[in-house]
Amino acid sequence: MKQHLVSSTILIVVVFAFIPLTHSGVPQSRYEAIMKREAISTLGLYNSTDKVNVLNDTNFKSNVVGQNHASLVEFYNSYCGHCKRFAPVYKELAEDCYKWRDFLKVQAIDCAAEENNDICREYEVMAYPTMRYFGPKYEPSEGNYGTPIETQNPDEIKKKVSDLVMNETAPTDNWPNFSNLTEEEAPNVFQELPQQVYYVVLILTTDDDLSNIAAQTILNFNRYPQMQIRRITDEKLGEQFHINQTSRMCALDRNMNMEAIPVQENTPKAYKESVEHFAKMKKLVEKPDAPTPSPEKQNTLIDEEIKEEQQQDKEIIDEVKRNKHMTYQADLEQAIRHILNNEIPRINEISGERLLALQRIMNVLQRYNPLGRSGQTMVNKLQEYVAENNQGIAGKDFENMVHKLEIELPPVYSSSRYVGCTGSKPNLRGFTCSLWKLFHYLTAQAAANEKSSDPLEVLSAIHGVVKYFFGCTDCSEHFQDMAKRRKIWSTPSKDEAVLWLWDAHNEVNARLAGDDTEDPQFPKLQFPTKESCQLCQKNASSSNSQPPVWDRAAVLNFLKNINNPAYVSRFGLDDPNILQASLENLRQKRMVGNVFSDMDMRMGMLLYGFCIVMMIAAFKLFAFKGYRKKAYAHDFLGKV
């Protein structure tokens, strides 16, 4: 029994000493956990309630490449303000074009989602939103990544796309007949049509605009099996059917009886309404869609996870609203993660000025890194990787390097979600909010130490990120214009760099206040507010309607304080132990956590176990075998 006790003790100590210490206590890697949370919380700008087909890295090719239909695809960025404002327009466009769905699918892919990097990079999407038309049987090739649709006016989009569809070579037998009805065909117009087609509607088109109206009308009513629409360009032939410049439409039945279809004006909408009225009068109906499959159980599980996420968001929002002025560690980490995993890898080839911008931001992140020990190691290795590749870097190679380091190193990020930048609804705040937080943190850190004397060190890095990597084209252009107007390159000191960015941020807040992209629970106010910093506003006791009069010295002190690493909030982190111990933890633990590493703790436990084993062995030898006193010569002599 005693031997069993000794063996068990040794086994327990040895096993404990060599078990890898984990930070999260979960078998799933940190990277996978972050990806799962991103997939749940970043739902994109479109969902199943819209007529927009949502694409991603797994279904893009099966919906666009080599198909019997054409596609209109919007490449967008879910945090891009301009994309958010355009989304309702695109949804309405998809609704209007829903009757075209057998031949044209209106689709969209979110390039802000990390899993879609390969697609957006392959199709060389450099601005958002970007719309492209892909014809039937499309196959990607060098320089052929779809036809750009360079307007965001829905009527112009429909005109452009319908012209493209009309000029396609029919990939299937059931492709709409866009050809002009000739004088030879007219007497036998029903001859090759299915028996169910009882009416042929003729539209006289004498110019390009009317030709496009006819094309849209053909697409609008392609799903009516009892009716077909044809174009006529010959005015003399039109006169045979009593259609002319005034009355441009008529219907023929199989007995060649003619019936005029009046139209009020030459617009696609007017023609659609007139044909709809005719179809209703003749009791013609659209063919139904095939029944949709019942939702899978997986969808239910996702819905439950979304509900749980929303409840967590509510709790976080309540906490953040009580401390609006704070900088949160989680937001700094998410900004860095998104830059490294999404913004930079989306670029196909990083060279020239773009490479210089990448080198600058990596240098700044290395110097003022807010991550823990593993995160600092990762950024250091990435900075070295970028510095060594002076001729250029492929976005895919940079992405692979980031993923490799995230897998090889212990957990890099202590959080898998936003905290201070959590939005009250999906796609509000998030990355753009966290990016501002990170920029402010970097300028404050640069001003607080002497690692560099260059006052433009951080501002030039920020300018490069926004110009060459930021996924909101409209926002990037606004920032560049503002930087030029506010003379960013003339900033004289690091303290002034902190204030330059603060001024710029307040200008953006003023421009976007009341915008559709604003989170109603976090209105865009001039920061810091009176509640956050009484000393920052000289007119703090006056009415809120008056513009603030700033005490810039107080503002500078305030910005440095809230971005001091000692005061950055760790609320909402998944595992704060990934980070260096905070001042509060050091006081509570008497700095033990900062003195001893994981290896120190393992060796200490091993030594402790060894001592226990030796004590048990000594106890066994001396306590259970008795004690026999040895006779010495001097004892005997003493007795004599």
Q: 76 has which bridge partners?
A: 110
Please indicate, yes or no, whether residues 191 and 161 belong to a single structural domain of this protein.
no
Q: Is residue 539 part of a domain?
A: no
Side chain identity at residue 417, one-letter code? R
Residues 478-507 have pLDDT tens digits of 999 999 999 999 999 999 999 999 999 999
Please indicate, yes or no, whether residues 159 and 197 belong to a single structural domain of this protein.
no
CA distance 476 to 336: 18
Please indicate, yes or no, whether residues 70 and 122 belong to a single structural domain of this protein.
yes
CA distance 294 to 298: 12
Last residue within a domain, chosen from 134, 166, 198: 166
Q: What share of the chain is helix, strand, coil (3-state, %, to 5)?
A: 50, 10, 40
Please indicate, yes or no, whether residues 51 and 156 belong to a single structural domain of this protein.
yes
Last residue within a domain, chosen from 166, 194, 213: 166
Please indicate, yes or no, whether residues 197 and 118 belong to a single structural domain of this protein.
no
Please indicate, yes or no, whether residues 162 and 216 belong to a single structural domain of this protein.
no
CA distance 257 to 309: 63
Q: How many domains does the chain have?
A: 2
**Would strands 199-204 and 249-253 be described as parallel, antiparallel, or unpaired?**
antiparallel
In b/e form, how buried is each residue of 143-161, taking b as 16+ CB within 10 angstroms?
eebbbebeebeeeebbbbb
Q: Is residue 380 part of a domain?
A: no
- Sorted by sequence, the CB contacts under 8 Å of residue 556 that are 6+ apart come out as 495, 498, 499
Please indicate, yes or no, whether residues 222 and 267 belong to a single structural domain of this protein.
yes
CB 383 within 8 A of CB 365: yes
**Would strands 147-149 and 227-232 be described as parallel, antiparallel, or unpaired?**
unpaired
Please indicate, yes or no, whether residues 150 and 234 belong to a single structural domain of this protein.
no
Q: Find the domain containing 138 and state its range.
A: 42-166
Rounded to 5°, the CA angle 12-17-23 comes to: 115
Read off φ and ψ for residue 389, nearest 5 degrees.
Answer: -100, 75
Closest CA to 18 of 468, 541, 609: 609
Please indicate, yes or no, whether residues 131 and 216 belong to a single structural domain of this protein.
no
Q: Is residue 64 part of a domain?
A: yes
Instruction: Give the chain's residues under pLDDT 70.
Output: 1-43, 291-310, 540-545, 582-604, 622-640
Provide the pLDDT for residue 315: 86
Residues 103-123 have pLDDT tens digits of 999 999 999 999 999 999 999
Provide the pLDDT for residue 48: 86
Q: Is residue 152 part of a domain?
A: yes
**Would strands 258-260 and 199-204 be described as parallel, antiparallel, or unpaired?**
unpaired
CA distance 61 to 56: 9
Q: Is residue 34 part of a domain?
A: no
- Sorted by sequence, the CB contacts under 8 Å of residue 529 that are 6+ apart come out as 324, 325
Residues 222-273 have pLDDT tens digits of 999 999 999 999 888 988 888 887 788 999 999 999 999 999 899 999 999 9
Q: Is residue 48 part of a domain?
A: yes
CA distance 390 to 563: 33
Residue 74's SS3 state is strand
CB 40 within 8 A of CB 309: yes
Q: Is residue 128 part of a domain?
A: yes
Last residue within a domain, chosen from 281, 308, 337: 281
Residue 246's SS3 state is coil
Please indicate, yes or no, whether residues 115 and 228 belong to a single structural domain of this protein.
no
Number of other CB atoms surrounding residue 40 within 10 Å: 16
Please indicate, yes or no, whether residues 160 and 80 belong to a single structural domain of this protein.
yes
Residue showing tokens 């999404």: 342
Reported in sequence order, the residue ranges of 307-454 that DSSP labels E, i.e. its strands, are 349-350, 393-394
Q: Hey, CA dihedral for 487, 491, 496, 498, is it positive or negative?
A: positive
Token pair for residue 47?
A: 């969902």
> Domain containing 64 — which CATH number?
3.40.30.10
CB 497 within 8 A of CB 453: no
Closest CA to 282 of 344, 217, 199: 199
Side chain identity at residue 469, one-letter code? F
Q: Is residue 59 part of a domain?
A: yes
Please indicate, yes or no, whether residues 251 and 213 belong to a single structural domain of this protein.
yes
Long-range contacts of the stretch 513-521 (C-beta < 8 A, 24+): 515/81, 515/85, 516/84, 516/85, 517/81, 517/84, 517/85, 517/428, 518/428, 519/423, 519/424, 519/425, 519/428, 519/429, 520/424, 521/317, 521/321, 521/424
